[in-house]
Structure formats: structure tokens, C-alpha cells
DNA sequence: ATAATATGGTGAT
DNA sequence: TCACCCTATTATC
């Protein structure tokens, strides 16, 4: 389940993460810039698993933040701090004073006004420019980046025999899409998950890209994934409720919002895939 | 106390 | 295809 505690000020701690897709990472990059940019940061790893890296960064100034797909970067002098949340990683932050470290706390940043905590990441490591370049070279275009190479995505899909459901989760093909956005964008375009990439009309692939740009941008703004159009919600007005947020993700066994057919789910390359067998044919 | 769950990813076979 | 890595929370014995 998503962990996203939203508060209205007072400096109460805010948790962001809990199985994120690209929108979460871009939101964190923006948030960390706002909280810590330009500040000298006290860096530690109370848990100890990032002790050496933390010692290297301690007392340096945060000069920038960046996101590409599900990868988050902080810039400190010549170092890149690279973080990947994976399935379990979570960030928490708040106004000073910082709470005493407790639990498995991989990384703790304390700035002039704010603190940031990281626990459970798949990756928390230092990189030099060449290592970061090598990592980015293995990632496909990110719909949230202005420099995204759309043509590379379209070409890759157009020549692949793999199912489009597989391609959308392949970070070498497109970076930042996870299981929710995958299921939802396929539904929104009426695309059968198992259709081979090469069999999709180019216009459909292009339309899915354009749609993902908008959906992910909405996700960054809202801090959560909402893919339904108002008219497809049980309650069309007001802030979308959790139960109204998706067309197919997490709705196995429930009726399709458009046609009433039962939503199906199945294991697909180790991940759970949701789809409507009528709307996505 | 133990297991199951989760929107992710790597590396070996 | 499988084993394995991260962690917190919830469900089950």
C-alpha cells in the first residue's frame, strides 16, 4: 500500500515512498531541493550500512538534485549520491529538530532547517560522473524529463516481439513506469497487454507516451496516482477517492468501470498484471 | 511468533 | 526461470 502521509504544515514529519513509480522520485527530487538546496548537510548512516559514504558526504553542500525514472540523485561536490527506493524504500522529512534515529535508518540528512531520513532502499551509494553516466545509459527515456528521446521509445517498441506489458515495465525501454501506470495506460488506450510491441500501430504507442507524460505530471503534482477521468468515478466531483483512482490496477474481480466485465489479473514476468478482457482487446 | 503483502531490480542458471 | 536483496505493516497461527 502506498505510504503517503500528507500534512498541512506545523513541521510534522512527512513520509514519501512505499513502492514508488517515477512520479514519486521526481517529487522527492523537487522536495529535497526545496528543503536542503545550497545548505551544508550533516550526513550519517545510523544503521551503518552506508557509513563510509555518509562520512564522505558529511559537511558538504547539497548543490542539486535530479531524477531519471526511478533513480534519485543528490549532487555534493564531485559526488553523486544515488538512491533507488525499490519496493520498500521510504523517505521521511520534517522541520528541525531532527528526531533521534531509530530502526533501520540507512541515511540521515540534517540541514539548516530540515531533516531527511531514508530507510529500506535498494540502492544508496556514491557515484562519480562516469558511473552515473553508465547507469543513465542503461535507462530509457523518462516521460517526466524535458530531454526525453521519444523516438527512441517508439522505435524500440516498434521492433520488439515482446508483449507491450513487458516493454512498459522495462526501464531500458521507458524509465519511470511501474505496475500501476502500466496497467492503467494500457486500459486507457484499449491495448491488449500481451500484444507484441511490433504489432501496435505507431500512433497508439505515441498516444500512450503522450498520455504517460500527462499522467506522471499529474502524479508529481498530486503525490499519488490517479488515472481515471471524472466521469468514470463513482463520485465524479470533488477530490478523487482512493477507490476511484484506477481503472484496473488492484481491481481484480470487480466490474470494469466502462463495460462491467470482471477485471482479470495474472502473473506476468513476476509482477501482477490487471486488465479488462473486453476493453483491452 | 511467523507469514504474507507491496506500485522494484539484479545477477546467476 | 529462479534466488535473492531492501523494510514496515497487517494478517494469521
Domains for chain A: give ranges and CATH numbers.
Answer: 3-137 (3.20.190.10), 150-275 (1.10.8.50)
And the C-alpha cell for A237? 466531483
Query: What's the rounded Cα separation, in Å, for the pair A143 and A141?
Result: 6
Note the pLDDT of residue A14: 83
What is the per-residue pLDDT across A6-49, written as a single tens digit (0 to 9) for each?
Answer: 343 445 788 887 678 999 999 999 999 999 999 999 999 998 99
What pLDDT, on a 0 to 100 scale, did the predictor assign at position A207? 97
Q: How far is the CA of A1 from the C1' of C12 (A)?
A: 19
Q: What is the pLDDT of residue A271?
A: 87
Residues 36-95 of A with CB under 7 A from strand C: 47, 49, 86-90
What's the pLDDT at A1? 28
Q: For A173-218, what is each residue's pLDDT tens digit? A: 999 999 999 999 999 999 999 999 999 999 999 999 999 999 999 9
Pick out the nucleotide with least CA–C1' distance to A104. Answer: C7
Q: How far is the CA of A130 from the C1' of B5 (A)?
A: 38
For chain A, helix, strand, coil in percent to 5 are: 30, 25, 45
* A83 has a pLDDT exceeding 70: yes
Using a 7 A cutoff on CB, list residues near strand B: A 1-2, 18-21, 69-70, 84, 86-88, 122, 138, 169, 171, 178-180, 225, 250, 270-272
Q: What nucleotide is nearest A250 when CA is compared to C1'?
A: B7
Rounded, the Å distance between the CA of A259 and C1' of B10 is 40
pLDDT score at A11? 57
Confidence (pLDDT) at A17:
73
Does the C-beta of A120 come within 7 A of strand C?
A: yes
What's the confidence (pLDDT) of residue A13? 80
Q: What is the mean pLDDT of residues A143-168?
A: 94
Q: Is pLDDT at A141 greater than 90 in this prediction?
A: yes
pTM of the model: 0.94
Collapse the DSSP code of A230 into the 3-class scheme (helix H, G, I; strand E, B; otherwise coil) and give the result.
helix
Amino acid at each position: 500500500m502506498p505510504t503517503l502521509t500528507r500534512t498541512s504544515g506545523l513541521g510534522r514529519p512527512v513520509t514519501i515512498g512505499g513502492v514508488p513509480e517515477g512520479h514519486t522520485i521526481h517529487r522527492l527530487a523537487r522536495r529535497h531541493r526545496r528543503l536542503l538546496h545550497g545548505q551544508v548537510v550533516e550526513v550519517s548512516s545510523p544503521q551503518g550500512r552506508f557509513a563510509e559514504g555518509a562520512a564522505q558526504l558529511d559537511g558538504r553542500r547539497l548543490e542539486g538534485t535530479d531524477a531519471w525514472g526511478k533513480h534519485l540523485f543528490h549532487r555534493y561536490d564531485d559526488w553523486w549520491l544515488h538512491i533507488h527506493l525499490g519496493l520498500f524504500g521510504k523517505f521521511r522529512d520534517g522541520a528541525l529538530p531532527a528526531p533521534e534515529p531509530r530502526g533501520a535508518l540507512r541515511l540521515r540528512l540534517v540541514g539548516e532547517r530540515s531533516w531527511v531520513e531514508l530507510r529500506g532502499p535498494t540502492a544508496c551509494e556514491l557515484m562519480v560522473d562516469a558511473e552515473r553516466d553508465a547507469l543513465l545509459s542503461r535507462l530509457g527515456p523518462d516521460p517526466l524529463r524535458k530531454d526525453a528521446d521519444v523516438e527512441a521509445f517508439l522505435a524500440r517498441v516498434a521492433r520488439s516481439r515482446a508483449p507491450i506489458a513487458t516493454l512498459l515495465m522495462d526501464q531500458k525501454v521507458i524509465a519511470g513506469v511501474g505496475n500501476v501506470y502500466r496497467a492503467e495506460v494500457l486500459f486507457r488506450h484499449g491495448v491488449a497487454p500481451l500484444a507484441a510491441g511490433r504489432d501496435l500501430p505507431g500512433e497508439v504507442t505515441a498516444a500512450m507516451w503522450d498520455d504517460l507524460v500527462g499522467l506522471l505530471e499529474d502524479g508529481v503534482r498530486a503525490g499519488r496516482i490517479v488515472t481515471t477521468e471524472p466521469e468514470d468515478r463513482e463520485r465524479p466531483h470533488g477530490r478523487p477517492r482512493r477507490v476511484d483512482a484506477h481503472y484496473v490496477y488492484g481491481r481484480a474481480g470487480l466490474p470494469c468501470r466502462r463495460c462491467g466485465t470482471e477485471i482479470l489479473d495474472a502473473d506476468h514476468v513476476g509482477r501482477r498484471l490487471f486488465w479488462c478482457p473486453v476493453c483491452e482487446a
